[in-house]
Amino acid sequence: MADTACIADSLNVALTREGRYAATAMIDMVEVAQRTLDEADADTRQQLEQERAQVPAENQPHRLITDSDYAAKMQLVMQAEQDAKRNQKGLWSDEGLKGRSPPKDRYLIQSAANPAVQGRVKSADGKAVLVSGFSAVSVVAGCTGE
């Protein structure tokens, strides 16, 4: 039977390389806690440190692997994200990732099959919508956006 940690690592890297997730989605709670402290101003940092000191050690985030193993795994994921960006996959593609990110404007404009490019977009109430430049705006005065 395959090692589950090995499968999970490969899956995380594969999903990131395909552009399904950004590398930051793979950070653990230890890193989240550290980043929160690093980004906080002095007053907030002091308050956070006081609150964390009240939490028993066994309830604080901890890694099940060494820091160096974690850093190596994160390096793989970060490289996978760079590959996805370079190859314009998933989140970084012009088409976007269906259900996760909208298509980029240049993709919509270049796509001849897209009704927005051909000026045939209507709002839910059937009123005409003018597609101009990179945004769609209603031509009906007083449009509330409902």
Q: What is the pLDDT along the chain (146 residues), one digit of tens a residue?
A: 444 445 445 799 999 999 999 999 999 999 998 888 888 888 898 998 899 899 999 998 999 999 999 999 999 999 999 999 999 998 888 877 676 666 677 666 666 444 544 555 555 555 555 444 444 443 334 444 44
Spatial distance between the Cα atoms of 124 and 146, rounded to a whole number of angstroms = 9
Q: Are residues 64 and 113 in the same domain?
A: no
Using an 8 Å Cβ cutoff, are 73 and 85 in contact? no
Q: Is residue 145 part of a domain?
A: no
Q: Are residues 10 and 63 in the same domain?
A: yes
pLDDT, position 110: 66
Q: Are residues 80 and 127 in the same domain?
A: no
pLDDT, position 86: 96
Q: Is residue 97 part of a domain?
A: no
pLDDT, position 30: 93
Q: Are residues 22 and 46 in the same domain?
A: yes
Q: Are residues 83 and 110 in the same domain?
A: no
Tally of structural domains, the chain: 2
Using only C-alpha atoms, the chain has a radius of gyration, in whole angstroms, of 23
Burial of 28 (0-12, 13-18, 19+ CB in 10 A): middle
Q: Are residues 52 and 111 in the same domain?
A: no
Which alpha helices (DSSP H) does 54-133 contain, by range?
Answer: 67-86, 105-110
Q: Are residues 13 and 68 in the same domain?
A: yes
28 Cα distance to chain centroid:
15
pLDDT, position 93: 85
Residue ranges making up the domain that contains 132: 105-138
Using an 8 Å Cβ cutoff, are 48 and 36 in contact? yes
Q: Is residue 36 part of a domain?
A: yes
pLDDT, position 37: 87
Name the E strands within 3-134: 129-132
pLDDT, position 91: 86
